[in-house]
Amino acid sequence: MSENSIPNDAIDLQKHDLYLNREFSLLEFNKRVLAQAKNETVPLLERLNYLCISCSNLDEFYEVRVASVIQMASIDPKALGSDGLTPHEQLEQIAIHAHELVDEQYRVLNEILIPKLNDQHIRFIRRKEWTEAQHKWLEAYFNNELMPILTPVGLDSAHPFPRILNKSLNFIISLTGKDAFGRNSGRAILQAPRALPRIIKLPAGETDSGSADFVFLSSVIHAFVEQLFNGMTVKGCYQFRVTRNSDFFVDDDAIDDLLLAVEGELAMRNYGDEVRLEIDANCPDETVDFLLGRFDMTRDRLFLVDGPVNLNRMQEINSLLDRPDLKFIPFKPSVPATLGRNKDFFAAIKRNDILLQHPYESFSPVVEFLRQAAVAPDVLAIKQTLYRTGADSPIVAALIKAARAGKEVTVVIELRARFDEKANIDLAAKLQEAAVHVVYGVVGYKTHAKMCLVLKREGKELRNYVHLGTGNYHPKTAQFYTDYGLFSSDKELGEDVRRVFAQLTSLGKVTRLNKLLQAPFTLHSGLLEKIEREIHNAQQGKPAKIIIKVNAVVEEVAIRSLYRASQAGVEIKLIVRGICCLRPGIPGVSENIEVRSIIGRFLEHARVYAFANGGNWEVFASSADLMNRNMFRRVEICFPIENKKLHNRILQDLEVYLNDNSQAWILNSDGGYHQATRTDDEPVIRAQSVLLQELQG
């Protein structure tokens, strides 16, 4: 140590400059997603898809995160985040970064993707480029398909400014002249029903168009909007879209019925407070100011855009085009031989724990596990948590079949799974109709744990079979989310799962668990203890290393523990898809910490906590990220991977991610990211491609 260096114990680990802002970190993630739209190695239609994902992410960012900062600015304007910024200071910086991001999104669309799509004979035809045949067909389309369901609202004392639905496509229209009643306020609002397609494919035969020529709905409305205002003149027609606060609040202390409370809040979601306004960049200042005034918004939350106000809807192109040459090469997920066709899953699981890694390995064994449980005469009971399942879920079908077969079926449904609330309310009703016992977990805590328990009679013994996962019981998202799922008949693990279900469905004190770490009780303290053990081992000269793979690192106490571990010489590797509030590479604090993010074909979603433990590695998979809400405000589980073969397999997977030199982004101390690089003589390593090849082989 030099004479000018600061001893580790003299550094205040709570200093604001040791923490990155959560909201800025989320915007950085969105930049990494957008970078995939510029990546020449990604198929063209997939690049368009990444652009749409970045826009969808930004929508949710404003609906939830910015909305909460705005509320905090109103409630406690002097409150300081872990990085020392007040809510108003955060909003100022968010506006700067978000505007830069949106400008880049439209630049990528207009200057990169549209020209490249045009080169592939996929064209978005502008109004000024329509041929006579196209104009004629589109006018007929407007008259027959659009005009009957469009309802323009002229603004006057009898027609106040309408309530604008969250994220809907709208037009503000400037008019001159008078109608049949002698009225003209000069403005009208037209809301485009959500049922209308935002992109219209031109029929080649009827319009002499190419096989992949498209027109935006907004262009069609602009072209023929005057037909909605007979005898008047349209001076201008401009798109706009409003984003609203969509994170509803349920007062857990003041409710008698959670279902009714959620239903009541859900009805208001589309009309929450305005948090962002997007308007066509050609809109005159006078009209812009009029809209800003109507929505009581300042210009920092105004976005003037050069293109469609909702780029997300361009994802429709993927389903409208049969161009496999411009998409990712399809693959068929594999199924472990032990769970192949006509196998007795219970016998296979009884022999050995079985690990699935989605999407490389199929989700179908999870469905088959429940199907076999539903019809097996010696299965007495099934208990299941459901957070997100999707429409017409085969998981739900199996649970209903089991209930109708007379088995005791209990399902814990989380009603407050954000943006899936309506689907989960409908799901609860569907299950209850089939005599499934449905509960909604514990008031005040979201049930985010992913677990299934099957109780089976085998001779004189009752045996528990469990499936534990890092992701949702959703067959569709399992096709593009990376997650682990574990089947086990381990007695102690099964008993732990049974006890957690008892907590969720009944009343009682916290019971001691054998192997599981559980939030909000033992998960946080358990992880901190394991970090402390690594610190002690490093001080004793024993092998000391931590590898954590999660979606977010936010919780401050855990971050301080990781800083202390780094100071003690513990090697720390964090694989964090999205938000990371920890600053790596700070002298005297975090030189031994590397943070990387993998952005690729699949959404990295698995959570893994691995500790060297003096050379006897411990590996845990979990439903929980390293966030305050996961540690303290949710029911989560963290389960050990004890089978040596499976344990080593996960450690090998983590090494693949740590060696990725193509799709990895490395976090800098200032909060920015740079892409991992390789020397000319190093092979290209894409973690997802490596795992796909290994598990397909």
Angle at 505 between CA 524 and CA 264, to 5 degrees: 90
- Positions marked active-site: 448
Tell how far CA 398 is from the center of its chain: 26
Residue recorded with tokens 């089978």: 643
Tell how far CA 71 is from the center of its chain: 23
What sign for the dihedral angle of Cα 50, 54, 59, 65? positive
What are the distances in angstroms from CA 217 to CA 207, 237, 291, 370? 17, 13, 22, 44
Output the six-digit token pair for 125.
Answer: 């035809």
Q: Are 479 and 366 in contact (CB under 8 A)?
A: no
Q: Is 270 exposed, middle or buried (0-12, 13-18, 19+ CB in 10 A)?
A: middle
Within 10 A of 487 (CB to CB), how many other CB atoms are there?
25
Residue recorded with tokens 């600015």: 73
Q: Beta strands 302-305 and 274-280: pairing type?
A: parallel
Count the alpha carbons within 13 Å of 61 in the hemisphere toward its beta carbon.
Answer: 26
Length of the chain: 697
CA distance 261 to 267: 10
Q: Are 270 and 214 in contact (CB under 8 A)?
A: no
What are the distances in angstroms from CA 667 to CA 21, 280, 526, 664? 13, 35, 27, 10
What are the distances in angstroms from CA 41 to CA 48, 284, 680? 13, 40, 17
The residues, ordered by sequence, that sit 6+ positions from 341 with a Cβ below 8 Å of its Cβ are: none
DSSP state of 203: P
